[in-house]
Structure 1
Amino acid sequence: MSTSGIIIGAARSGAGKTSVTIGLMRALKRRGLAVRGAKSGPDYIDPGFHHAATGATGVNLDSWAMAPDFIDHLVHAQTEGADVLVVESAMGLFDGIVSDAGRSGAAADLARRLGLPVLLVLDISGQSQTAAAIARGFATHDAQVRIGAVVLNQVASERHERLARQAVEALGLTVAGAVYRNADMALPERHLGLVQAGEHAALDAFIDRLADRMEASLDLDAVLAIAAPLAPAPGNAAGTAFALPPPGQRIAVALDDAFSFVYPHVTRLWRQAGAEILPFSPLADEAPDATCDVCWLPGGYPELHAGKLAAASRFRDTLARFAATRPVHGECGGFMALGRALEDANGISHRMAGLLGHVTSFAQRKMNLGYRQALLLADSPIGRKGEIVRGHEFHYSRILDRGEDAALAELFDGQGNSLGLAGARRGLVSGTFFHAIARHPAGA
């Protein structure tokens, strides 16, 4: 079966890409098509909405953190049995970092590598014919990135649509539809982005309403007509050399409203390598399965559930016994939960697991955001000593007290500038604010 693909792009975050993407996915699924989703860049939340809209697990494709062979491998796996692959861009279409050619992290890198056209979502609120100038800029900025069609978003009236549509079409660009302003299309947000799909009340009905709107607003035949066939990506094993290896045979993974930031490709490849994943809920005071040989605490929102975590004595006591003989690793929110205490937004301190010595605060906030390279200083569930792992950091919490634990890694930004020592390790317990995405070639 051949798969066609398209990238949903925009000039900036907040232009309506996610609403258009998940509504379009569901609308295409209603036509009987097997639809798969992908998200450019390090985003945990949108793949959950893609899964809800299509019924199939999403994937992240990150041109900076992932080697090209690894992206090819993931695309090959994602398109097996699919009719259409819809890739949602992060931020603006060309937004990334200064890096090697094709490795900026921008969705435009994927458009070039995969040969996919862009369905450009333009928020035209506060403008009309000026939308054509923006569209012209996108169409001419990079000859290897093709704008297949334009969607006018946040349209105020029929006259507003007519003025913008005529100006864009005069450039020779196709306008595939116009989406009028509707507050019901807004997705709820919090400090790390959208509220997660699993927390959205009546999610399926909401996605159906978005699909109704896309069916009424877009020419779906025109959208499908611009989708380009994906060249068969090699499904060779070379790509998996960059995957994070499973940290154990049976992996206990904390999964609930406090801990949920797990990249789909990470757990899928763990399973593919023969590992078994056993979820448990710290918020429900559950313990990691005693038969597991490693425990993984992902990122999430422990700062919103600090009181409940502090009261989860069974989870805390069992985790301590587990850590005496088997590795425990925490990423970002999981790292916060492994420390001595967590200060919530109101400045109230709550007891955490105490397996590492640091204290974190969500009251004294500081945004940390960006790509990261971690040179591991010791063996841990994310890799062996001396290996380089690529990923990202995105959090508002800060460390009030680092404790006395040894550092887990030396951290570098996306351009190789040292950020100093980071994370912590004590015995078999490790953690860091850094989210691991993929291994980096030795010596790179």
Structure 2
Amino acid sequence: MVDLVVRSRRAVIPDGERPAAVSVSGGRIVAVDAYEAPVDAAEDVDLGELALLPGLVDTHVHVNEPGRTEWEGFATATRAAAAGGITAIVDMPLNSLPPTVTAEALIVKKDAAAGKIHVDVGFWGGAIPGNASDLPALHAAGVYGFKAFLADSGVPEFPPLHAGQLAEAFAAVPALFVVHAEDPDHLHAAAPSSAYADFLASRPPRAEDDAVATAIEAARAAGARLHILHLSAASALPLIAAARADGVRVTAETCPHYLTLDAAEIPAGATEFKCCPPIRDAANQDLLWSALADGLITCVVSDHSPCTPDLKRRDTGDFAAAWGGIASVQLGLPVVWTAARDRGHSLADVVAWMARRPADLVGLTGKGRIAVGRDADLVAFDPDATFVVDPARLHHRNPVTPYAGKTLSGVVRTTWLRGRAVDGDAPQGRFLIREVS
């Protein structure tokens, strides 16, 4: 007898979408059979026409605990993730205090998270000026790689690297480096304004282009593995394509907001739309979708970057003063599915972008696929149901969202973590540690 079998006429497995029965024992998938297959199971769940997806993997989440837990926290962020069909996140090394830039700081963060997590959680380390000697020990402690900024991060305890410091970090440890690529020489402080266009003009595409070029050249020289975070400017795509063709190990991600929100439609003073790099125009968005379709952009992740409502400055609507970040870990799946379906993409495409490839990026060999031997991280998803985004129904600590009032397609009905339904009450997540090959 197995512990659980979940049946669906629309199971998204590695070879596509088909009817299947997924059997689970001891938290792992032990068989993927025909939908009607007889299975002796303690629990038999038949989803019928509801889709069965692998749990999503979000490798770009700012949890902010400890130190800025009023912005977010492990309990609220992971509860929101589970509600959105995500079963594993990798936490960014900022904006917590201390930032995760030493092995000792990683211990502090894990202590803060212990007993609170509703999904599995891994960690990034941070590369900042002066900590190159700390990177090997932090890598050995199990972080999945290192995040670096090439421009101001927004918090003083996590300063940016210049090109020489990035090269020094690459040389310090053979690891995956994930880079916020904006060149400060092409950024300027926006004047106080409620007009989104004024903020957008302060962060032009050239800032991303030149920073991507800088990061690629550093990776080329060091033979390092590079991942470009939250790509917004499609003008940088040819640089990435050329580098990959030339043998540089470079990949890129984008985010739901860059794929679905249009700069021309952002209302005056609507600072919930502010993020860095910024949301750009519809023509740029079309190019991002094309790059996603052809595999040049590999992943779609949230860049969940929340703050307290007052830091969004909705009282003044001043884009220059507002915190730049979008909280969306709970909404990423329906946001992307709504737009993807309209563009002719399948659920299998969305699973590749939001589960399989993020898992592959960081080497989570137990995640991202419905396959024998994988963790039984599963999602019952109704792709045809619609809902209107109500911020009050979000599990984020601070329910501020640019998607408020939007009608989206796709509702998560149940999320299973290693074969157990996540109820949002009893945390059952585990810490993830980088697998050493």
TM-score, with structure 1 as normaliser: 0.27
Name the structure where strand makes up a greater proportion of residues. 1
TM-score, with structure 2 as normaliser: 0.28
